[in-house]
Structure 1
Amino acid sequence: MALWDRIKESAQTMQTQLDAKKNELKSGGFRDASMAMCALVAAADGSIDPAERTRVAQLIAANDVLQNFSADDLQKRFDGYLDKLVADFDFGKVSILQEIAKVKKKPTEARAVIQIGIVIGGADGDFDATERAVVREACFTLEVPPAEFDV
């Protein structure tokens, strides 16, 4: 199987697992942590261009699990996290990982946040090394073994 196909299949598998837990993923903490994760993956290489921002925003709006929340609210939070990363990537990253850490004591939400990161990162068929690295950091932050998600 080609790498492209494996990445796409992995992202689809993660989305299927998320869909199965949709009714458990309605807390504000999950909402905030998942938007923080989306921003972190979108800006994984230290920058974000307008096309990438738009693409990730469209993925967020189309994600079934995230439809538990207001699209405008998700967009506002995603943009806010991205703005922190654009202003000062290293400091913003620390702040965002702290936001993600807030779901650490809720294993279902913690794993779902990681899965959201993988779905967003793999949506274009190229879950690159920088995206994998930030998802791995989030795993450590959430005390979830990165090997569980093959990152």
Structure 2
Amino acid sequence: MLMELVDDLRLALERLKHRPFLEAAMATAALVAHSDGVVRLSERTRLDDILETLDLLKIYDVHDAVDLFNRYVDRLETDGGAAVEDALNDIARVSENPEEADLLVRVGMAISCADGDFEEGERRILKQICLTLHLPSENYLVAACSR
């Protein structure tokens, strides 16, 4: 009983510690998926794969993460530029952690390549995300979907 409580507390602390990364990852995924105005099933499926694969995201309930992603998408559809700015601000919160920043761009790249195409809108928003994270976009965006 005591060990279960300790384990629950550890998990809750991990979730709290990594909440900014979850928010930044869902903001990144939403910005990239919505960059052409339509969030495709292939992009949602790729997001599910990411949530089940990345250690920093596996600690969260998939439904909670998808709900957060959907909230970002809904805001992008209704609030446009203000929603983009808010999402980029959430992304900027992890810019001081190089590993998490790198991982965020890779999440965005994975979403952008989910349908097999790397479109100009996706390229543009990924460049903006790289700029927000203080990362050189040319390191990521060269032949992004051929990897």
Question: What range describes the TM-score normalised by the shorter chain of this pair?
Answer: 0.7 to 0.9
What TM-score comes out, normalization by structure 2 length?
0.77
Instruction: Give the 3 Å change call, closer, same or farther, for CA 57–68 of structure 1 in structure 2.
Output: farther
Tell me, which stretches of 5 or more residues in structure 1 are unaligned?
Answer: 1-25
Tell me, which stretches of 5 or more residues in structure 2 are unaligned?
Answer: 1-16, 143-147
SS at match of 2:125: helix
Match of 1:145 in 2: 136
For residues 95-115 of structure 1, give each alpha carbon's deviation from its aligned partner in whole angstroms, at most 9, with x where no partner exists: 100011010001100110000
Which ranges of 4 or more aligned residues in structure 1 deviate by more than 4 Å?
A: none
For residues 71-101 of structure 1, give each alpha carbon's deviation from its aligned partner in whole angstroms, at most 9, with x where no partner exists: 0111110011001100021111011000110
> d(CA) in 2 for partners of 1:142 and 1:67?
23
Match of 2:102 in 1: 111
Q: Which amino acid aligns with 2:79?
A: D
Seq. identity, %:
31
Match of 2:82 in 1: 91
Q: Which amino acid aligns with 2:108?
A: G
Match of 1:57 in 2: 44
In our comparison, the structure showing a higher alpha carbon Rg is 2
Residue 70 (structure 1) shift: 1.2
Provide the aligned C-alpha RMSD in A.
1.5
